[in-house]
Structure 1
Amino acid sequence: MRARGISGGRQLLFFALIGLASSGCAIHALPGDLAGVGTSVIVKQIRCEARAAGVQALLNYLADDDNFRNGQVDLTSHTIGTDLLQRAKNDPEAVAKFDPRQLKGRARHIVDILYSTGIAYNFDLTGLEMNNFDPQINFIRPLPIGSVVSMGVSGSFDRSRQNERIFTITDTLGELIANTKHPTCTRPVDENYIYPIAGRVGIDKVVDDFLNLTIFGNLVAENDKPKGTVNVKGPPTMVDQLQFVTKIGGTATPKIVFAPAGRAFQVADASFGVAASRTDTHLLTVGIYLDQAAAQKLDAEPYLPHRLPVTRAAAVGVPHPGQFITYSGGPAERGAAAAVEQFLALKIFKPTIVVAQ
């Protein structure tokens, strides 16, 4: 009876440990497994961050008193911007309904450039899950002369699953500003220090720095600008790459020691090593492109993405197969995606020099 009880206990322990090693498994490792937030929500949150930066840049430029005093914004445009700033505090849709054609002169031109600025996001989301079960059993056989014969047997049952999801999305700041229907944009998220890609990642800083380097950081009074030119300097593109790694794991090594009985070959002890881990690596590459055509047109045509001609709207949706990514969109969006491609090419083909000592 006792022997059978021990045998039953061993079986129970074995299957319990197998269950522990198998718990939490995901055949298709995706961000939602850990964060509870799917890929589509992650993308929307990041696009909303970019939109918030575009909205803030628009309001700051038009409503800023210094810009009015320095001749950057005329009285009519400044009044429109001040009114829009007040309405936006109570109505999240106010900026989306704003029509840049209400503006005049230089202000209208600068806002046209802002609205036509392209932005591309390349997502590389990798999930790696590992579940290992490594038992080890030691056998002994007592001998009449007081010594023992021992033998160790070990095994492994290790499994891993990895999924990598790569895709590229393009926008213009004008398209983002004109679209705020999704509730994600009215409920901004905070930073998530455990699983960063599911929270605020700081895209607004990227957009803000680029706009300051290209459009707003080099503004001068209209009378100080050479006739027939527009003062848009700085880099035509900028690319940031963010990498987030989250690893969760644990190990357990329960061990059973048996008292020897008799002189038969028997189990002395058994250990059951169990290890499980999940590693999520997320690369987010963001490229921004200043539409050169818009920057060169002093009398730019009104730019509202939702009022584009049918011919252009159809062209926007045509995918463009690049060398490393596939993207679509208008000239500014393609320019932003091309900047991302250049960055990825630099990362891939960057030479590594090893100096032997």
Structure 2
Amino acid sequence: MAAYLLLQNKDPVALAKGNGLRNRDIPYSQIDLRPLNDDLKSTIAGFAKYAVTYDFTFDGTITNNVNGSLTPTTTFGSGNRAFPFTAALDRSRQNIQTFRETDTFGDLLKKTPSAYCADPHHNVARNYVYPITGSVGIAKQLQDFLSLKVFSNLAGKEGPPTFTSTITFKTTMRGTADPTVVISPVVGSTTRSGGYGLTSERSDEHKLIVGFAAITSEMNGAQVAEFLSPGTLFQTPRGTSEEIASEKAVNESILRFELGRQSGPVIVNSSLLSLF
């Protein structure tokens, strides 16, 4: 937003508002954009109803294995006889969690509290241990969507144009221990030796499917003024056509790329198919 307003180098009002946004002097929701010219106001307000859906899947597996061996050795007159045997205990636990959130661009701009980012000048870095909590590349997905929408006539068969992207992260942590026990023999006694191996592994696969939907209906003059006014009075009603379209785009991505790769028969809930 700041970069767009600062491009209007012959418009002192736009430049002043752009500098205020760039410097983060006050929260975005408190900046009054109503003094801008009509073209700028129309362009900015045109993004208010754009919708985004995030579908998260957390798939965590913990594996703990114990493998042991014991070799009794009995001494005979003609030599030694060994009777080795092994045992193993393999355990694993898996936990899968999924959840979905939907936002509109207008609500994200106007209703996100300033305390959400402790330092508004600091961008969250990538987290290589738990990658879903850091920078996951949303900016690139948003740029691709807007580029297709603005410059490539992105369109939908029915309803607003949509765009989906799937981001997958996998983190694996392993640890092993392999101690060996040897009991020194006494003359004429039985010698025993053995060992046991401990293996522990944790595998986390995090998947994020992002679905964007463009606007289908324009806002009237009163809605535009409300959106551009300082304060948080603006609110998009839940279940707009844009939000429904972004959710449908995510569901289509799951049906097309996730279920299609499953082996064997797949049962699809009728409530999911009813969205189409």
Pairwise TM-score range, normalised by the shorter structure: 0.7 to 0.9
SS in 1 for 2:83: strand
Aligned 8 A contact 1:257 1:270 in 2: yes
Check if 1:304 corresponds to 2:247: no
Aligned 8 A contact 2:27 2:114 in 1: no
Q: Distance in 2 between matches of 1:205 and 1:89?
A: 20
Q: Distance in 2 between matches of 1:93 and 1:240?
A: 33
RCO greater where, 1 or 2, for CA within 8 Å and sep 6 or more? 2
Check if 1:211 corresponds to 2:150: no
Choose the corresponding residue for 1:289, options 210, 213, 216. 213
Deviates more, 1:153-162 or 1:335-344: 153-162
Q: What displacement does 1:337 show? A: 1.4
Check if 1:335 corresponds to 2:245: yes
- Matched with 2:273 is none
Letter in 1 for 2:211: G
Q: Distance in 1 between matches of 2:63 and 2:211?
A: 34
* 1:331–1:80 Cα change, 3 Å: farther
Residues 8-157 of structure 1 aligned to structure 2 (within 5 Å): 58-65=1-8, 78-91=11-24, 93-145=26-78, 147-157=79-89
Letter in 2 for 1:137: L
Aligned 8 A contact 2:2 2:21 in 1: no
Check if 1:269 corresponds to 2:204: no
Q: Distance in 2 between matches of 1:343 and 1:81?
A: 40
SS in 2 for 1:111: helix
Q: What displacement does 1:157 show? A: 2.6
Q: What displacement does 1:243 show? A: 0.5
Choose the corresponding residue for 2:174, options 249, 263, 287. 249
* 1:348–1:91 Cα change, 3 Å: closer
Aligned 8 A contact 1:244 1:281 in 2: yes
Report which of the two has the higher share of strand. 2
Q: Distance in 2 between matches of 1:106 and 1:59?
A: 16
SS in 2 for 1:193: coil
Aligned 8 A contact 1:100 1:108 in 2: yes
Q: What displacement does 1:130 show? A: 1.4
The two structures have a TM-score, normalised by structure 1, of 0.63
The two structures have a TM-score, normalised by structure 2, of 0.79
Q: Distance in 2 between matches of 1:92 and 1:168?
A: 33
Q: What displacement does 1:346 show? A: 0.5
Give the fraction of aligned pairs with identical amino acids, expressed as a percent: 24
Letter in 1 for 2:16: D
Q: Distance in 1 between matches of 2:39 and 2:203?
A: 51
Letter in 2 for 1:174: G
SS in 2 for 1:141: strand
Report which of the two has the higher share of helix. 1
Q: Distance in 2 between matches of 1:80 and 1:279?
A: 53
Aligned 8 A contact 2:63 2:92 in 1: yes
Q: What displacement does 1:239 show? A: 0.7
Q: Distance in 2 between matches of 1:351 and 1:257?
A: 50
Letter in 2 for 1:90: N
Q: What displacement does 1:197 show? A: 1.6
Deviates more, 1:152-161 or 1:338-347: 152-161
Q: Distance in 1 between matches of 2:163 and 2:211?
A: 6
- Deviation digits for residues 86-118 of structure 1, max 9, x if unmatched? 112333534222355444433222212212110
